[in-house]
Amino acid sequence: MRLSGGVRTAGLLLIVMVASSSCGGRGKAALPFEPANRYGAPDPSVMGPYPVGVRTATYVDTSRTEPDGGPRTLVTEVWYPAVPGTTGEGVEYDLLPVFTADQQAEILDSGVALPKLKTSAIRDAPLASELGPFPVVIFSHGKAAIRWQSTYLTVTMASHGYVVVAPDHQDDTLYDVVRGQDADTVAAFDFRPRDVQFLISRLAKLPDGDPLIGNLDLGRLGVCGHSFGALTSLRVGAIDPRVKAIAPQAPTTTDIAWLGLAMPVDLKIPIMLEGSHQDMTLPYDDNVEPTWAAVHHPRWKLGIAKGGHFTFSDLCKFDLATLASHLTLNIPGADLSNVLSDGCGPDATPASVALPMIDQFTIGFFNAELRESVGSFEYLNQAGADRFGAGAADVTADP
């Protein structure tokens, strides 16, 4: 959605200016700088002007039934811009409760504690309603992963003025995998895109009293996802006109993502395609390159030189080598040695470099396409990648 919605953008700028000149009062503290808009393009590789709030919501789709006879239930993390000046203790995500009691005992007996994922997002902080409504990005996690697998991105994106909505895709999460209850790929292929579509519809019709009411601009809606979540974003972007831009990370080829759709698919929305040249799970040349050939401009492609499949997650923040040497959990999809060898090992681009680079290209893309920030296009080229080191990544821009 390029260079449209000028009235809305000007209105947002006016609100920010008024807020900056006010003193005291909830929601009227000054922002340290303006969020991306038609007139400005803050650096998307670092935190934006808003503090970040987070809440956990449960959305129930009564139109779909689970094998146990109950309705489909999506536990969902929502990160959002908080009132300027809000401070508080950031949320920590603890992986241990995801495991069964026996698995937890084995982990504790190993003598190595699972690290907690620390974020700057403040639980239930007041939403910056007076500065909204805000564009919305739905994030879809990878297979056998969890809704908060990529807080390096979701929290930073919220700080730049987005409401980021990330569901646990029921039956296809880490919680399901460790219990041997994960759905097969064919089933997930069907229900994941429907999860995203359900959430879009649900966000448009929230119950009375929900703090998000009036704060969501669903006319500026993006979808981002990693691995199976990238497939999900590609599929939803092709079938749902409500989606205005997508950013698939480490995707499958479109031959798989668009299976069963009327061919050829004409993706009519902008796409930021991201991958790693050393991806061993979904090899770059077999997946990213064919996907690039199947879409047309406006399109961008980021190829991280020494990244792997799991470079696009928070996993690489941790000392996985020590964990892998002490834990021997026999859990399909939870083998830390695979993660180490596919993006988080000592030869891979360190998380301190890769994650800000991914933030720059993903958030910069959404800033350009959903917030009409013309200046943000300057972050989406080879010079933008070279900020993180010569040869760190290659970029192809076809705006």
Q: Is the pLDDT of residue 320 over 80?
A: no
- Is 194 part of any domain? yes
pLDDT band at 321 (very low <50, low <70, confident <90, very high): low
Note whether residue 165 is domain-resident: yes
Residue that the structure tokens 């991914």 belong to: 358
> What domain range includes position 117?
6-398
Residue 393 lies in a domain: yes
Percentage of residues of the chain with pLDDT beyond 90: 71
Terminal Cα-to-Cα distance of the chain (whole angstroms): 12
Q: Does any domain span residue 211? A: yes
What φ, ψ does residue 225 adopt, rounded to 5°?
-165, 160
Question: pLDDT tens-digit profile of 100-130?
Answer: 898 888 888 877 777 889 999 999 999 999 9
Q: Report CA-CA distances (Å) from 156 to 17, 170, 256, 390.
A: 22, 25, 30, 24
Q: CA dihedral defined by 363, 369, 372, 376, rounded to 10 degrees?
A: 50
Maximum distance among all alpha carbons in the chain?
Answer: 60
What CATH number should be reported for the domain holding residue 52? 3.40.50.1820
**239 vs 340 pLDDT, higher one:** 239
Counting the structural domains of the chain, the total is 1
The answer to whether residue 355 sits within a structural domain is yes
Examine residue 1 and state whether it is found in any structural domain, yes or no: no
Instruction: Please state the pTM of the whole predicted model.
Output: 0.89
- The secondary structure of 238-275 as a DSSP string is HH-TT--EEEEESPPPHHHHTTTSPSSP---S-EEEEE
Which pLDDT tens digit goes with each residue over 381-396? 999 999 999 999 999 9
- Average pLDDT over the chain, rounded to an integer: 88
343 found inside a domain: yes
Q: Note the pLDDT tens digit of each residue in 139-173.
A: 999 998 999 999 999 999 999 999 999 999 999 98
- Checking if the pLDDT of 295 tops 50, the result is yes
Does residue 228 sit within a domain? yes
Residues 6+ away with beta carbon under 8 Å from 106:
327, 329
For 208-224, how does the pLDDT look when each residue is reduced to its tens digit (9 = 90+)?
999 999 999 999 999 99
